[in-house]
Chains A and B, each alone.
Chain A
Amino acid sequence: MLKKVRLMLAFLISTQLVGCANLGVQPWERDLLAKEEMALDSEGIDLGLDDHIYFSKEATSGGRAFAGGGCGCN
């Protein structure tokens, strides 16, 4: 299972990187991407609160941002 996931990830990442030259938009095609809700951190407050909840209740943290320190002793 682990091997499969790793292979799949490696494939996905490599195809994305190789394809970079053909990907993307011209500056005048950024109308939709420039929308507030398309920013990766458009819901920063919600994401931060969620990270804190799941950090305290689950064994995994980080990924989107640094895993960081903290207690989570509850």
Chain B
Amino acid sequence: MQLTSKSNVTGKTKKVTNVNSALAAATCVLLGTTPVVQADEAVWEMDTALLYYGETDRITAVEGVFSAKKDFGDEHIFSGKIILDALTGASASGAVSQPSAQTYTRPSGKGQYVIDAGEIPLDDTFRDTRVQLEAQWTQPLWDDMRGSAGVHLSKEYDYLSIAVNGSLAKDFNQKNTTVSAGLSLAFDTIDPEGGLPVAFSEMVIDQGQFANEQAYQAAFDATRQTGTDDKSIVDLMFGVTQIINRRMLMQFNYGYSTSDGYHTDPFKVLSVVNDQGLTQSLVHEGRPTERTRQSFYWQTKYALDSGVADISYRYATDDWDINSHTIDSRLRFNLSGNTYIQPHFRYYQQGAAEFYQPFLLEGSTLPAFASADYRLGEMTAYTLGLKYGMKMPSGNEWAFRLEYYQQDPKNAGFDEPGALQQLDLYPSVKAVIAQVSYSF
């Protein structure tokens, strides 16, 4: 999961028009009387969504979101969000495919699974439910200054993440320029079923070599650390939002993030292959305990006569040597006063982490860190999507989104010995994203 905080300090409040209240207020003004009930009373704005994410032969996730927001007067805004998701399916373990079938021990140590010859090893034990809670308060402070503070909590079976954030924003130049600064502190704890593997320890596979269950368990336990592990993250973000002209506004963000602690994925392994490309053993991956990241983000929105163009670019770099470029664009075309379609295109490209290796070679010196997780390797990805939205006469809105997402991992310059040359070590991942949203 990920914890994010939307830019409350620069966002605008959505206006929900209560026609009856407005008419009542107008009537009162005309008649010169004071309304008995506060006619312009703020209402809760509710946004709900159900998302399906399905990869071919891999992960399937269903995620539900319920979000509520209310202006308690004079831009004193509360927003809260509850997210529930369920995840099932299989995920690439990091091991390479082989010309013969391979047997693996499940990460919990209980049971095994077999991967057919030529197939990419997928660990099919993923099953998790996650709940995420967010609360954010934003209000004016002084001299065109706004402050915002929030808390986030995310809990799944083996992972807990808690975060707090605070930000300040100040308007200049007749509110045409907004400068903001924000800080987020997060603390994560991980406690996977079967324990955290010791980096580079060999996966214990029961092939009849153990005298009894206890002997197997003792060998398995020797590959595990005791207790849980954790990670703390400090995020800083500085932003400038600038209105360019009557139709265009821009935002620039600079983000600096540093994290300290356990960054390893406890479910990922590396194959140790011989000079024929045949797997001799499997070892658990190990990642550095620190990571410092920087991001440069630019977004522009342009009001067309009947729609909106929204384009953003992000450049990110970190001390793991992962550099990435992301272009995201949404073009909204209003079909009528209350319906629209919105094509979406996103392109992403990343370089490999300095410690990424698709496999280890038998007999070579073990590196300090290594991971064969394709998500740390070189890759490009694109998303193509279409959204259709319609506003009901009541002001409530339905929206439907359908997207296709494809990741194409690439060889970052590694020579493939023997049998590996005939196998697909970098298969594409294809996913469908479908979402229904309702705002009221």
Contacts and interface: CB of A to CB of B under 8 A. Distances in A.
B381 interface: yes
Interface residues of A, number: 59
Contact of A32 (B12, B59, B246): B246
Contacts of A74: 59, 87, 91, 126, 128, 267
The CB with the most chain A CB atoms within 10 A, among B49, B83, B315, is that of B315
Contact of B299 (A2, A23, A64, A67): A64
B244 interface: yes
B433 A27 contact: no
Interface in A33-74: 33-49, 51-74
Nearest to B69: A44
A41 B6 contact: yes
B322 interface: yes
A36 B334 CA distance: 13
B39 interface: no
Interface stretch (B18-26, B30-38, B209-217, B247-255): B247-255
B405 A63 contact: no
Given A24-B176, A38-B249, A38-B301, A60 B326 contact: yes
B233 A25 contact: no
Contact of A69 (B47, B188, B266, B299): B188
A69 B4 CA distance: 8
A69 B3 contact: yes
Main secondary structure of the interface of B (DSSP, over half): strand
The CB with the most chain B CB atoms within 10 A, among A21, A54, A63, is that of A63
B296 interface: yes
A50 B65 CA distance: 12
Contacts of A70: 1-3, 154, 159, 161, 188
B435 interface: yes
B174 A27 contact: yes
Q: How large, as a class, is the contact surface on chain B?
A: 35 or more
Main secondary structure of the interface of A (DSSP, over half): loop
B316 interface: yes
Contacts of A16: 240, 242, 250, 252
Contact of B159 (A17, A37, A59, A73): A73
A72 to B, nearest CB: 7
B2 A52 contact: yes
Nearest to B161: A69
Interface of B: 1-8, 10-12, 14-15, 47, 49, 51, 53, 59, 63, 65, 67, 81, 83, 87, 91, 126, 128, 152, 154, 156, 158-159, 161, 163, 165, 172-177, 182, 184, 186-188, 190, 192, 231, 233, 235, 237, 240-247, 249-253, 255, 257, 259, 265-267, 293, 295-299, 301, 303, 308, 312, 314-317, 320, 322-324, 326, 330, 332, 348, 350, 353, 375-376, 379, 381, 387, 401, 405, 407, 429, 433, 435, 437
28 contacts: A2-B317, A2-B323, A12-B298, A13-B240, A16-B242, A16-B252, A23-B176, A33-B246, A38-B303, A45-B65, A46-B437, A47-B6, A49-B65, A52-B1, A52-B63, A58-B375, A61-B2, A62-B235, A62-B295, A63-B316, A65-B6, A66-B184, A67-B235, A68-B152, A68-B163, A68-B235, A69-B163, A74-B59
| Closest 6 pairs between A and B when the two form their complex, measured CB to CB | A24-B176, A69-B186, A55-B2, A68-B3, A63-B297, A41-B11
